[in-house]
Amino acid sequence: MNWLPLYHRSNNVKFIIFGGGQVAQRKVQTLLKFDVDVTLISPKLMPVLQNLASEAKIKHLASEALQEHVIAGSCVVAATNNSAVNKSISQWAKALTCPVSIADDPLNSDFIFPAIVDRNPVTIAISSSSESPALTRYLRNQLDAALPTRIPQLANFVSRLRKSIRSSVENTEQRQRIWRKLMSSAMPNLVLAGKEDQALVISDSVIADKEQLGQVFLVGAGPGDPELLTLKAVRLIQQADVVFYDRLVSPAILEYCNPKAEMRYVGKAMSDHAVPQEGINQLLVDHAKLGKTVLRLKGGDPFIFGRGGEEIEQLAEDGIPFQVVPGITAASGCSSYAGIPLTHRDYAQSVRFVTGHLKDGTTDLPWDELIHPQQTLVIYMGLTGIVHISQQLIAHGMSSDTSIALIEKGTQPEQKVYTSTLAGIEGVISTNKISAPTLTIIGDVVKLHKKLIW
């Protein structure tokens, strides 16, 4: 490696920047974030730089007598639009042993500017050694999106803890053990969730070497496409020691899990429950009591026909710390990927979600309530009963010509969309091998599918 990454105390360094254009502006704006003393030398300045100079945030010298402004010990940036001038600046500066950065000329530069992810007081500097600025920007954007916004609060919380631990624990090795336990406990995630009081209780318990409860993350995995996971979902998925996942969680999403995690399938299909719901509830409690970080991963959103409420009721009763991360529910994801807006000014002013599979296994829905003009019906888990549902809707007054769509494996590469009418859906079912997961949408908005599919 040709470039050594270092962090320099900003109040001990002065920068002299030659240039007044966009490149100089980018350098100035970066440096001012760190309260660096900046002097800008250029006969003309862009408006933003003029404002900074008038506000005394930077010093400005308009002289073209470049050499007299190069002060030994300063860092020099040559950012004019003239390569010959930049070369002259570099020669003068190096003669005075000043480190130089030349715009678009890393080979003749002594230092370069990294891309920065800023979560003050945490900063991450990224460089491709000037091989590819586009790659550097891409990596910065990826890291910036992945890092929680409350990293500053976590850094400040940890800083306060550090002072407390250093004053109360003399042995260095013991302090290191405490920090390893703290950073793998529920503490960081509680701080990131804004629950610093709970995080402090956990921290005090770790420092006192008391037995620790684990934590449970109830996470919505969305309808199938892994890119529809929320940033928080991905972060928590990667931290789990043990994962309890459902039938509707796609294999691509499971790839995000910690490779060392214990994977436990607890999926349910009609008359085929790998683990009864009560058993799942207890498994979450038992593993959390062992001090493990437990991930309960559910397709869609855990609070929309996902029985997530039952699971966290049990956790709350047993005093287990938990977090709930909503996911994109199948209705939103599948309808979007099928080009079927659930509401539309010309077709539907309301939408209703119902389950096609009730607790007792029937499809005895409140039919009269479902028969409304300009309303979209979304039926979850309704594939096996869709013919009966269609017949009942017609019997209770819905037009037999009402449009219906079946979206099989929505948002995934294997997605298929079947459209028909209430009267014709039985024929579609009989002539196609449609399998779960399949979402049903009923209403005039289905007519937009062929026009809006993408």
Partners of 155 in the beta sheet? Answer: none
Q: What tokens appear for 269 in the block?
A: 């299909």
Rounded to whole angstroms, the Cα distance separating 369 from 336 reads 25
How far is residue 384 from each of residues 166, 244, 304, 354, 366, measured CA to CA in Å? 63, 26, 20, 15, 18
292 is catalytic: no
**Looking at 27, 246, 292, 301, which residue is catalytic?**
246
| Interior/surface letters 360-386, b for 16+ CB within 10 angstroms, e for the rest | eeebebeeeebbbeebbbbbbbbbbbb
**Looking at 14, 94, 181, 268, which residue is catalytic?**
268
Number of neighbours of residue 413 by Cβ within 10 angstroms: 8
Residue 218 CB partners (closer than 8 Å, separation 6+): 296, 298, 302, 308, 311, 312, 322, 323, 324, 325
Residue 312 CB partners (closer than 8 Å, separation 6+): 216, 218, 322, 324
Helix H or strand E encompassing 269:
strand 268-269
Residue 239 CB partners (closer than 8 Å, separation 6+): 189, 217, 258, 293, 295
Q: What tokens appear for 91 in the block?
A: 């020669």
One-letter amino acid for residue 25 of the chain: Q
268 is catalytic: yes
Q: If we measure between CA atoms, which residue out of 100, 34, 49 comes closest to residue 71? A: 100
Residue 72 CB partners (closer than 8 Å, separation 6+): 96, 97, 98
CA dihedral angle for residue 308, residue 314, residue 316, residue 319, rounded to 10 degrees: -140
Number of neighbours of residue 28 by Cβ within 10 angstroms: 26
Residue 176 CB partners (closer than 8 Å, separation 6+): none
Q: In terms of C-beta density within 10 A (0-12 exposed, 13-18 middle, 19 or more buried), how is residue 124 classed?
A: middle
Tokens 């449009």 -> residue: 403
Cβ atoms of 427 and 434 closer than 8 Å: no
Q: What are phi and psi of 262, to 5 degrees?
A: -80, 125
Q: What tokens appear for 10 in the block?
A: 């900003």
Tell me which residues are annotated as active site. Answer: 246, 268
